[in-house]
Amino acid sequence: MLSFKRFLGIILTIVILSVIFLIYNINEIRPASVHNQTDLGQEKEFIEAGQVDEGERTRVWLLGKSESEPYRQIYDNVWQFCADLHLTVVEENRLDLSKTEERDLVIFCDAAVGRYADLTELEEFIAGGGRVILAAGNGEPGLWPLLGIQENSAVENYHNLLFEKPLLPVQPEQVYYGGDSASARLVLSDDASVYIRDAITNVPILYTRACQKGYVCLINGTFLSDIRCLGLLTGAAGTVLPDFIYPILGVKSVFLDDFQMFTAADDELCRRVYGYSTQGFIRDVLWPAFQGASLRTDTPYTSSILAAASSADSFGAVGEELFTVICKSALQFGWELVYAADCSEAEKLVFNRDFIEQFPTVFTNYTIQGLALESDNFFPEMLAVPGGAEIKFVRGLLTSQEARLSWQEGLTVFPAATVGNSIDDGNLFLMYSVVGAYGLVSHVFDVSLLITKDEQNGAWDFDKRHIGIFESEVLAKVPWLEGKTLSQTAENVRSYQDLAWGWTKSDNRLELNCSGAVRGQAFFYHTAGRIVRAEGLTYQEIGNGYYLLRVQESKGVIMLEVGK
């Protein structure tokens, strides 16, 4: 039998442990003292603004402004992208080759090239050293010999893309494309260099062909009608130009929409399919999966709750205990909490006042300053959140005409490039393309849809595989992009929008000049050479002929290996 003294010792130990666990559980529910996300970290210094000589910065001749779709959309997307890169764009109804220079890049956005240039003169221009991209396919039989086309037949949609040569900074061997390509069935001569082809039919999707001193590249189809496919354009430019430098955002961001919202139907399904309550499932299964991916890839998340919609019926229930625990955990990892908005018309806009009023009582030291758009609809009324919150950061959409990428009057709009819980149904290709075009990963998961598939089936067993694909095939492949929350992207957007830049190259020495950019502004440099030394900037070889440059001074110098 136990002595009375030992018995008292055991009782005392149990009491002490119980108190410890009680305190721990209380602290897990109660929020710790937190600060505004935008107060964390020291703002980077901007390079002083000054006059910059454009030097050898690529000048683009843009032709093919058609009134018919999809060519009008291709033209608009290419124009917008050239504006994003601060390239000098010459818009003409017809190409005047007497005004072009060898370093210029000529881009046709209509398949009917003969409407905008004399085909014989164009062939002579390329033979003399010109660089031309046909960005919308080619319907001109007169150019087929130049393009190495031996057969050109029916237009079809090709979805299974096989990468045969390095084109993008990060690329798969094979990937699915979910859109309509409208690609012609081509048979090429043996001297054409194919970078992408259809994996099933072998139809070339993107290829180049040398013509004496110059190069021509054909993007076979209407891919560029989707601005997220513009990585094909930067990849094409890298195939025809000896050196191609362009600014990028240099950021990776992940957004978790509607994380803490659920319904009674969700709860019933969770118990039936997973053996958890909804709160338990989110806390013990779903949340740790996202936490792990974030920590392993150094990618902070931005989590949102729907606060503005077209109807009050859109606002689901928010479990206070779960909300507190999850949000506290997010803030401890340096993540960010923002409002979300999904409204079609300003006249129908309603706010989730219960949640907006409840939030500051739970998180007394945290002020929400961000708004995530869940559609491409945006109007200023969305910024007028009740309670006096000042919205300084908006997550828009890269495909939006109204809110895609801007910094003005203290309001930053940062784009989500891809959206959806399924990754390998077309999103993966778009992610690789956006990395090539904008140096950007910016994806949105709708977490509320990860719980349920329909009234009878759960979605988690399917969707957790896609989270794994996103981590291993995207986030883990771009460790050289800076992981940032919505508010932390403000400097990147401002720098990308306001910078002036130019470059010159002489033998094995390349000079990059910048003005008005943040220190650390990123560039991609595509070259067949090899950098051996640099001053005023950092460089990192990331593969497939690409270097990531980050400027530290207004002037950076790169020394290339002699003979390259």
At residue 97's C-alpha, the angle toward residues 92 and 101, to 5°, is 100
CATH 3.20.20 maps onto the chain at 251-488
pLDDT tens, 311-336? Answer: 988 887 666 777 787 888 888 889 99
Rounded CA separation 20/16 (Å): 6
Return the H-helix or E-strand segment holding 338: strand 336-342
The CA distance from 388 to 384, in Å, is 8
Residue for token pair 């595989």: 465
Superfamily, domain 59-240: Class I glutamine amidotransferase (GATase) domain (3.40.50.880)
C-alpha to C-alpha distance for 425 and 239, rounded to whole angstroms: 28
Per CATH, which fold does 251-488 belong to? Answer: TIM Barrel (3.20.20)
Which residue spans of the chain are classified as CATH 2.60.40?
A: 493-560
pTM here is: 0.91
Q: Is the dihedral of CA 250, 435, 337, 21 positive or negative?
A: negative
- The angle, 0 to 180 degrees and rounded to 10, between the axes of the packed helices 427-438 and 231-240 is 50
* Residue 504: Cβ within 10 Å count: 14
- Give the pLDDT confidence score for residue 17 in this predicted structure: 46
Distance of CA 168 to the CA centre of its chain: 14
Say if CB 220 and CB 184 are below 8 A apart: yes
More confident residue, 30 or 479: 479
Residue 378: partners with Cβ closer than 8 Å, 6 or more residues away: 394, 396, 400, 402, 403
pLDDT at residue 340 above 60? Answer: yes
Q: How far is 249 from 520, CA to CA, in rounded Å?
A: 10
**DSSP of 245-264, one letter per residue?**
EEEE--EEEEEEETTTEE-H
Mean pLDDT of the residues in the chain = 88
CATH class of the 493-560 domain in this structure: mainly beta
- With cut-offs at 50, 70 and 90, classify the pLDDT of residue 25: very low
pLDDT higher than threshold 80 for residue 564 = no
Region(s) of the chain under CATH 3.40.50.880: 59-240
Say how far apart CA 313 and CA 316 lie, in whole Å. 8
CB 119 within 8 A of CB 142: yes
